[in-house]
Structure 1
Amino acid sequence: MFKKFIISQLSKIKVASKEKEKIIFKVSSLKLIPAEYKEYERFLFQALEKLKGIKDVKVDMENGKIVVIYDSAIVKEEKVLKWAEVVKKVGINNYDLIEKYGEKNLDFVVKTIEKQLDDELKNI
């Protein structure tokens, strides 16, 4: 049920700093995540990179940071911040789905959440 713990930590994500074409989010609890769960980072990348203009997402577990690099010619900082909030909200709203099916039917969970993200992306 560690995936459940990871999702529960989404509410604690805060903007640490903003630079030109880079937003750094602070997530202190990243330091608590064992290395074997590092593979789930890809879902965060996939979710954030759905927004056109996101160039890269880097997770620094040791320092508890998520760095989002974007192209300001394609997407504005405000939109990146709004999208990050949407990704966080969708993750939190699917807490029970992840708990129930995350271990035995991860593909179903991913497809369900991706559909919700795609729907939300239309409204950004």
Structure 2
Amino acid sequence: MFNIKLYIVKHLKKIKIIHSIPGRIRLKLPNIGNVPEEFRKYDDFIIKAVKILDGVNEISFNYVIGTALITYDTHKVYEKKILGWIEDIVDISVKNLKFIEKYAENNLDFVVETLEQELNDKVKKYK
């Protein structure tokens, strides 16, 4: 089950900005359209992780065209900071992949709490 997550995480490393105006970024997410419907239920975890960064307002995915739209408060955060944060999320996910594989099936809450704590510690460098 979690092999698809590794695939997704690896492809998140290849994101590109396709449109940007202050307060709004549209990112191209290669191959996101290939993510099976049953794995899209994890979108909420990704959204929650990105929104840990103060100033990120909303995130939505479009699987048909393979993009993500992020809106943000320009007084709190800027494009480069958001992209750096997404890269940190991917790095933390990859680093913890074995932990996720080992515990997520039976104790998803434990995995989520552990990763959220690590993300909360990491986001402090953005203040």
- TM score, norm. by length of structure 1: 0.88
Given that 1:10 and 1:91 are in contact with CA atoms closer than 8 Å, whether structure 2 keeps it comes out as no
Identity of aligned residues (%): 34
**Match of residue 108 from structure 1:** 110
The whole-number CA distance in structure 2 between the counterparts of 1:46 and 1:28 is 21
Alpha-carbon spacing, 1:103–1:24, altered in 2? closer, same or farther (3 Å): same
- TM score, norm. by length of structure 2: 0.86
**Match of residue 22 from structure 1:** 24
Q: Which amino acid aligns with 1:38?
A: R
Give the 5 Å matches for 1:76-87. Answer: 76-87=78-89
Residue 100 of structure 1: SS of its match in structure 2?
Answer: helix
Q: Which runs of 5+ in 1 are unaligned?
A: none
Q: Which runs of 5+ in 2 are unaligned?
A: none
The whole-number CA distance in structure 2 between the counterparts of 1:93 and 1:13 is 19
Instruction: Flag as ranges the 4+ runs of structure 1 deviating above 4 A.
Output: none
Given that 1:24 and 1:66 are in contact with CA atoms closer than 8 Å, whether structure 2 keeps it comes out as yes
Aligned residues: 124
CA RMSD of aligned residues (A): 1.6
The structure showing larger relative contact order (alpha-carbon pairs under 8 Å, at least 6 residues apart) is 1
